[in-house]
Amino acid sequence: MKKNFIMKSFFITKKNLAGILLCTALAASALAGCGDREKDNTQNDTSSDDTDNTQSDTSSDDTDNDAQDSAADDESSKIGISMPSQALERWNRDGAYLEEQFKKAGFETILTYSDDDAKKQAEDIQNMLSADVDLLVIAAIDDSTLDPVLDAASLADVPVIAYDRLIENEAVSYYVSFDNYAVGRMQGEFITEYLDLENASDEVYNMEITAGDPADHNAAQYYQGAIDVLQPYMDRGTLNIVSGQTDFDNVATPAWSTKHAQSRAQNLLSSYYADGTQLDVWLCSNDSTALGITQALAAGYAGSNPILITGQDGDEANLKNIADDIQTMTVFKNLSDEAVVTFRVAEAILTGGAADESLISSLGIKCTYEDSEENTCPSFLLEPVIITKDNLQDLADTGLYTMGDDGYLSSAAKR
Ligand code: BGC
């Protein structure tokens, strides 16, 4: 269990990625700090303290309303929710799910999107502090720019939950996310199994790689998870990176932008594949970048299809591409569950309840709690799942998407 824990909770951060690439040994010294582990949940005593967390004993939808109400009884309970951008599809869903959780429990919410502009996000959070929020939920654009506003949160005794993206700052009490390294591994393992690389003899598959935003700690984790699985096949030449671009810095995509991913893909296609060289795989860290790749391929690729393309999130356009055999898979992360866990952690913080392993058993959500002896903040990490054309219906079955008569899924979350 402990061994597992160390592997899984290893946060590959911007600050330590370079070191990791030189030496993939998982050095304990590379663990990132994001919060004060000693922080007492009772630190913020502005809300009522009579909530018994054990009362809310199921996931979001069935959460006991009485328990939720008691958390919000204190009329000053106001939650600031800072999301990066509405341009990236998933955050619209995150914002909607988070608001739904807090509002249905009687909390007031302030929800902002910061146009992927780190400076604007700091201002938005500062405005939330000025509006006297009691707790902050932040999906950081670039956590290195947030130190001053997080210091201000600390001074004002406002607890912070790092949502989805790690924030390396002591003001952060908890991190709620998915097992992001596992997401990358799932993409890598999908490729190895799909192409049966283990049994490949002389076969060579041509591959290109697109990773995420270097300002986002998750991007390095996704990349490293996948590369750790694929590296042996790259070393033995079964996977051949035609462009030679393998380093994170070379394959990263600022702001996870579809446009950036598309324009880099167009350059690679015209430089290395214009003569009809076959492309077999494009490892893509997420759906917004995968969309850029498929658009570039549609515009100018001379070889034959289909190409194995990975993704992550379950964005509508990508789910359509999966149905149409244009993208092969995506790693789906149940954002509604992520919002539930976040809400429950926030509720525990505000009421002095337990935000630890014991919270998970009452959730009915697959999630691990990790609290290392290093200076990493306690984390709740949910489990992602693989979606392909064969199990698209599973998404509709979650109730988070609806399946149209045309066979395409659309998100049921209001935007
Ligand atoms: C999230 C991904 C998302 C990406 C771009 C990452 O931090 O974990 O789910 O695709 O940001 O929005």
pLDDT for 363: 86
Residues 6+ apart with CB under 8 A from 197: 191, 205, 233, 238, 239
Q: Is the pLDDT of residue 260 over 80?
A: yes
- The band of 142, judged by pLDDT with boundaries at 50, 70 and 90, is very high
* Contact (CB, 8 A) for 78 and 106: no
* Contact (CB, 8 A) for 122 and 134: no
From 85, 89, 90, 331, the mutation candidate for ligand 1 (largest count of ligand atoms within 8 A of CB) is 90
pLDDT for 75: 58
Q: For ligand 1, which residues put their CB under 6 angstroms from it?
A: 88, 90, 164-165, 212, 216, 218, 256, 286, 288, 312-313
179 Cα–ligand 1 center, Å: 12
Give the pair of three-digit tokens for residue 100: 């739904």
- The band of 376, judged by pLDDT with boundaries at 50, 70 and 90, is low
DSSP H or E stretch at residue 218? helix 217-235
* Nearest ligand 1 atom to alpha carbon 178: 8
Q: What sign for the dihedral angle of Cα 250, 254, 256, 258?
A: negative
The per-residue pLDDT for range 209-221, each reduced to its tens digit, is: 999 999 999 999 9
* Contact (CB, 8 A) for 332 and 186: no
Q: Is the pLDDT of residue 238 over 60?
A: yes
Q: Which of 6-20, 81-95, 212-226, 252-266 has the lowest mean pLDDT?
A: 6-20
Identify the residue whose C-alpha is closest to ligand 1 atom 6: 218
**φ and ψ at 146, to 5 degrees?**
-95, -5
Counting residues of the chain whose pLDDT is more than 90, the rounded percentage is: 75
Largest Cα–Cα distance in the chain? 70
169 Cα–ligand 1 center, Å: 20
* Nearest ligand 1 atom to alpha carbon 91: 12
| Average pLDDT estimate for 177-202 | 96
The per-residue pLDDT for range 40-98, each reduced to its tens digit, is: 333 333 333 333 322 233 333 334 444 444 555 555 689 999 999 999 999 999 999 99
82 Cα–ligand 1 center, Å: 14
The per-residue pLDDT for range 155-183, each reduced to its tens digit, is: 999 999 999 999 999 999 999 999 999 99
pLDDT for 44: 33
Amino acid at position 366, single letter? K
Amino acid at position 69, single letter? D
* Nearest ligand 1 atom to alpha carbon 177: 8
E runs forming strands in 140-257: 160-163, 172-178, 205-210, 239-241
The per-residue pLDDT for range 378-404, each reduced to its tens digit, is: 999 999 999 999 999 999 999 999 999
> Residue 338, exposed/middle/buried by CB under 10 A (0-12, 13-18, 19+)?
buried
Q: Is 367 helix (H, G, I), strand (E, B) or coil?
A: strand
Amino acid at position 324, single letter? D
* Contact (CB, 8 A) for 282 and 311: no
